[in-house]
Amino acid sequence: MARLITLSAAQAATAVEWAAAEGWNPGLADLPCFLAQDGGLFLAMEEDGALLSVIAATRYGADFGFIGFYIARPDLRGQGHGMAVWRAGMAQLAGRLVGLDGVVAQQANYRKSGFVLAWNNIRFGGVPLRPPAPAQGILPAADVPFAALAALDRTVFPAAREGFLRAWIAQPGHVALAHVTDGTVTGFGVIRPAREGHKLGPLVAESAAVAQALAAALLARVPEGPVFLDVPEPHRAAVALAESLGLTPGFETARMYTGTAPEIRADRLFGVTSFELG
């Protein structure tokens, strides 16, 4: 008989493999960063040692949560395993404002669970142009006060996520840079290797010029190849940045919340961290 379980770190690797099979192109070292935020985020329906469906229900503080990795095994779809793990994930986040990045065509189904559309995100990708990297103003993120990075991140994300952010910046293979103006941290970004190419996110900046400088510096530090950048469609300066790098739209997701969208500095969000964790 199928039962609900919380996945161990080893078991959670299967969820990442399923995401890769769905074409979501996860980062090569995403998993330990995700678990640093919430060690019990991955739930699954399991039977006789085999996973039937998975979901990530990530808890941030006491008031916010995010749904991702919602996948049923392809050969078992239509049998209720997906709905079972969905209910479990939503139960884990009960009492919180919950967000997700869902398939645009599935919005009606998410609305049945109380989700409301806030905006669409666009995944831009391709082999980017490489503008000249700035000669000054860019530092390794590890060389600036972590509190400054966390404060900037908090302006574009609905909850504090220090555990995740520390892991994301320091993870081997990840390149994390900060932009400093007159001694003040005015932006930061991370680029990381993925199953295909590299993914750039988050990209947080106080202005389009800072975002452009960070993007150029980050691209200069990774090998030639495809790069993917997820941007909020309403943020025209972020879309313009992606286009200026020669990247083209791939697919969109619907950012939805179970209530009023949280107040963030959307003008500073030039690259979403992750469609799986927000």
Angle formed at CA 190 by CA 69 and CA 173, multiple of 5 degrees: 85
As a whole number, mean pLDDT of residues 135-140 equals: 95
CATH 3.40.630.90 is held by the domain 124-271 = yes
Residue 93 tokens, joined: 């986040």
pLDDT class of 138 with cuts at 50, 70, 90: very high
Q: CB count, 10 Å around CB of 3?
A: 10
List of E strands, the chain? 3-6, 42-47, 50-60, 64-72, 97-103, 116-126, 138-140, 175-181, 184-193, 198-205, 227-232, 248-257, 269-271
What tens digit of pLDDT does each residue of 217-256 get? 999 999 999 999 999 999 999 999 999 999 999 999 999 9
Inform me whether the pLDDT recorded for 67 exceeds 90.
Answer: yes
Q: What is the pLDDT of residue 182?
A: 95
Architecture category of domain 3-100 in CATH? 3-Layer(aba) Sandwich (3.40)
Specify whether the CB–CB gap between 152 and 268 falls below 8 A: yes
With CA atoms as reference, report the closest residue to 70 among 58, 81, 54: 54
Mean pLDDT score of the chain, rounded to an integer?
96
Residue 101 tokens, joined: 């990045």
Residue 85 tokens, joined: 């793990």
Inform me whether the pLDDT recorded for 210 exceeds 90.
Answer: yes
Q: What is the pLDDT of residue 135?
A: 86
Domain boundaries, the chain: 3-100, 124-271
Q: What is the pLDDT of residue 250?
A: 96
> What are the C-alpha distances in Å from 139 to residues 8, 24, 43, 94, 215?
36, 30, 38, 40, 13
Specify whether the CB–CB gap between 235 and 207 falls below 8 A: no
Specify whether the CB–CB gap between 176 and 198 falls below 8 A: no
What tens digit of pLDDT does each residue of 69-80 get? 999 999 989 998
DSSP code, position 29: T
Sign of the torsion formed by the C-alpha atoms of 132, 134, 140 and 146? negative
Q: What is the pLDDT of residue 25?
A: 96
Q: CB count, 10 Å around CB of 15?
A: 27
Do 3-100 and 124-271 have matching folds?
A: yes
DSSP code, position 161: -
Question: What share of the chain has pLDDT > 90, as a percent?
Answer: 95
With CA atoms as reference, report the closest residue to 235 among 196, 187, 270: 270
With CA atoms as reference, report the closest residue to 11 among 21, 26, 39: 39
Residue 60 tokens, joined: 């941030």
Name the maximum alpha-carbon separation found in the chain. 62
As a whole number, mean pLDDT of residues 35-51 equals: 96
